[in-house]
Each structure stands twice: as C-alpha cells, then as structure tokens.
Amino acid sequence: METTRIFIVEDQPALLRNLLKVLRSFPELEVVGSAQDGEEAVDAVVEACPQLVLLDLELPGLNGIEVTRKLKRRVPEVEVLILTSFEDEQKVYEAIQAGASGYLVKRVGPEKIRSAIREVMEGGTVLEPLIARRFWNYFQSIQAKSPEQQNPWGLTPAEFDVLRYVAKGLSNAEVGQVMTLERRTVRTHLSHIYRKMGVNSHVEAVVMALRAGLVEL
C-alpha cells in the first residue's frame, strides 16, 4: 500500500492532538506536519511537501478558504480535504471554488476520514451525503436557469464524456471501466479539462459545465 503524506491544519489543540494520534495509527498515512494558524499553514505546507492537507475552515489569520486558494496557487498538485463544523452549501461551494477536493464535517469518525483521504488520492471528490444533496440541488436549480452554450472551452468528445461521467458521481476508476480506459488516461483527460476550463477540481469543472448547460446530474 502506497504511503500518503498528510499535513493537518486545525486551531483547536485538543482536536489537533486527536487527529495526529488517529491518523498516525494508520500505516498508509504519514503525517508530515501540522499548523494551527492559516498564514503559518501556507508556508509550512509548501515546505513539508505533503500530498494532502486536512484543513479546518475556521482559523486565526487566514480562514481555510483563503488558505486553500493560496495553496492551490503555490502548490497546485496538493489535494485539500476540508474537515470543519460548517454544513451549509455556500461554504461547500466556496471551498470547492477555491480548489478543495472534498468536504467533511467534524462529527465523522476516523475510518471515514481515512476512506475520504483514499478517495481523494484516487482522483475522487468527497462530499457527505446530506451536504452533497443540498449542494447538487442548488446547482441543479442554477442549471435549469442556464442558457445552452456550445463547448466554450474546446473540449474533445472524450473529455466531454469524462466530464459527464464525473458529473454523475463516478470515480476515476469507474470512468475508466465505463469508457474502457486506463486510470492514468482518465487522469490525463481530467488534467486537460482542468487546464482548458481554468479550474482545479472535479466539482469546480462540473459546476461550470452545469452553469453552461453542458452536463446534467
């Protein structure tokens, strides 16, 4: 099993200690650092070179959404998984727009965090079911009001298919099975989609395509 390098950003000392203890107990996870302040976190993450940042939204200094934006500008390859007490779709939207790949609330257990990290590292996007329903219902209403547009980003037919399957909630592996493609080919298509659309994540690409009326949920 490949090791995933994790960095934790959490301002509550007791919760931070608990997260450090729990995540260090999983053999496939290597905790390479932690921070309790948003501004401090950005520089520390860049220096520690993790693959994934587990990030709270409510932080002193910069909030988690600003931290995400700064990280995605400086180290765009790092994945950001939000772990917070906020449950409203507006916060989810802002986090995804900033480049986060997933959004969990703090009541989830260690195994859920572990599986969410695995899902994100495999190219998926994580949203808890209740949050996901609110989020996608909101964007379905946006989609209903959006005018049809013709491929404003110049996506190829294969890229369109990948984006449509991603909008349906399929993981990279599942898209590969449906389209008879290797997972790395799906990742390549996604990287081209992200570059053409100027986005950093599955969900951000889907949101833009929904607004343009190019995909359906």
CATH number at residue 153: 1.10.10.10
- Examine the pLDDT at 157 and tell me if it is beyond 70: yes
Q: Give pLDDT, residue 99.
A: 86
Residue predicted with more confidence, 212 or 110: 110
Instruction: Identify whether 152 is part of a domain.
Output: yes
Question: If you average pLDDT over every residue of the chain, what do you get?
Answer: 84
- Examine the pLDDT at 60 and tell me if it is beyond 80: yes
Range of the domain at 164: 146-211
Q: Give pLDDT, residue 129.
A: 64
* Rg (alpha carbons) of the chain, rounded to whole number: 17
Residue 3's pLDDT band, with cuts at 50, 70 and 90, is very high
Instruction: Identify whether 138 is part of a domain.
Output: no
Percent of the chain as helix, strand, coil, to the nearest 5: 55, 15, 35
For 127, phi then psi, to 5°, come to -140, 130
Q: What is the pLDDT of residues 24-46, one digit of tens each?
A: 999 999 999 999 999 999 999 99
User: Could you tell me the CA-to-CA distances from 106 to 6, 99, 163 in Å, in that order?
Assistant: 17, 20, 30
- Examine the pLDDT at 147 and tell me if it is beyond 70: no
pTM for the full model?
Answer: 0.69
15 and 104 share a domain? Answer: yes
Last residue of a domain, one of 69, 99, 133: 133
Joined tokens for residue 177: 């099975």
